[in-house]
Chain A
Amino acid sequence: MRLAELSLPELESRLTQGLGLVTGPFRFHLTSRQKRVAQGLHALYADFEIGTFDYYDYHVRLAHPAGIRRWLRPQIFFWLDDFSPFKPLPADHDFAQLEWGMNWCIAGHAHHYLMLHAAVLEKNGQAVILPGDPGAGKSTLTALLALSGWRLLSDEITLIDRDDGMVVPLARPVSLKNASIDVVRNFSPAAVIGEAARDTHKGTVAHLKPPAESVARMAEKAMPRHIVFPRWRDGAAARSSPHSKADAFIHAASHAFNYSLLGELGFTLTAQMLDCCDCRNFEYSRLSDALEFFEGLVA
């Protein structure tokens, strides 16, 4: 059953008891009494499979602390089982807190994958990995490509299957920050963007609903073929140049969530990925140039 089949009141009710939600290879059991969380899920996870399952990878809940902070400048805690990894946030950041918490659950525990800190999209059977440093415009680019017919595999965590080296889809809402929210809204007025959480530690944050097709094809892995290091620079002419694989290796390894933990397997998987990929830098300022460049990559 898809989440969209529940009305918002039904979803709110289910969430108080616990809702099973499938995101890629993971099953979350979500519990929350927060109206905003139900609204966020209803808007952004409409195409995702929900249900009651035999097991869950992660039991998470959002809950107010006991005491006065339940009412006075209310706060919200994220819990995984009986562990709360973060300091409480203002209650109106609850949906963003859930997204960050879900990422934390995966990044901290799913060590049966190599997990790179990178966005990844697919077209024509070719997965394009976007490592990008903070501020490089990775999420904006990911959102624009996803809204332009590319299959979103992940905007934050690239999962590499340790058996075959393929990218395992984990399409979830794309996290947009500050100016990129309006960039994406202007690019595609029909895009579904959730309520913005303001004054978070990342500034203003809002999430973009992943394309329905990306969610529907979540079981379909993709072979990595390109690694692109994007860099948005105001006024820059579009320019692409080769990026050394040795450097891409070190970047991927140092930004991975669990490269060191996997030891020799982490090296082997990263090396195999680079064997299959060409690596490029791409600097741009105009979105149309970026779209043209990426289309050309997978033509």
Chain B
Amino acid sequence: MSLPSHWRVPFHSKLIWRRWPDEDEYVFYHGASGDTHRLSELAGLIMEQALAAPVACATLAEWLREQGDTAPEATLEHVFASLIRLEFIEPVAIEPGNAAG
């Protein structure tokens, strides 16, 4: 399965989060559902970026590769599947020349 190239936080989502020093997990509050979730370090990092601007899969995959991940696409598929299920992110069409990352 190939992932859409760019992802963003849906406009209706009100997400706030916390990560404490020396801990590798995040806690996110999803205002739209009222639910609270614990996220892995990678999922949390992706969300941190997505909250600032749409994230590009290619950039993330490259970064994972630099971290030593030999199958970054599979890793991202897995993480994005979880984030989609939580309605934390959605694909976004980026105009050529306007792509983040």
Interface residues of A (CB under 8 A from B): 244-247, 249-250, 253, 259-260, 263-264, 267-268, 271, 274-275
Contact = CB atoms under 8 A, between A and B. Distances in A.
Interface majority SS (helix, strand, loop, mixed), chain A = helix
A246 B29 contact: no
A267 B16 contact: yes
A273 to B, nearest CB: 11
Contacts of A250: 27, 36, 38
26 contacts: A244-B25, A245-B23, A246-B19, A246-B23, A246-B25, A246-B26, A246-B27, A246-B38, A247-B25, A249-B18, A249-B27, A249-B36, A250-B27, A250-B36, A250-B38, A253-B36, A263-B34, A267-B16, A267-B27, A267-B29, A267-B36, A268-B16, A271-B18, A271-B27, A274-B18, A274-B20
A40 B14 CA distance: 49
B101 interface: no
B4 interface: no
Q: How many residues of B sit at the interface, in one of the four size bands?
A: 10 to 19
Interface of B: 14, 16, 18-20, 23, 25-27, 29, 31, 34, 36, 38
A264 B16 contact: yes
Contact of A263 (B18, B25, B31): B31
Contacts of A259: 36
B29 A247 contact: no
Contacts of B14: 264
A259 B14 CA distance: 17
Contacts of B19: 246
A260 B27 contact: no
- Taking each of A253, A264, A267, which has the highest tally of chain B beta carbons within 10 Å of its own beta carbon? A267
- Tell me which of B16, B31, B36, B38 has the highest count of chain A C-beta atoms within 10 A of its own C-beta: B36
Q: Identify which of B25, B26, B31 gathers the most chain A CB atoms within 10 Å of its CB.
A: B25
Given A249-B18, A264-B14, A267-B16, A244 B29 contact: no
Contacts of A263: 31, 34
Given A246-B19, A264-B31, 10 more contacts: A244-B23, A246-B27, A247-B38, A249-B18, A249-B27, A250-B38, A263-B31, A264-B14, A264-B16, A268-B16
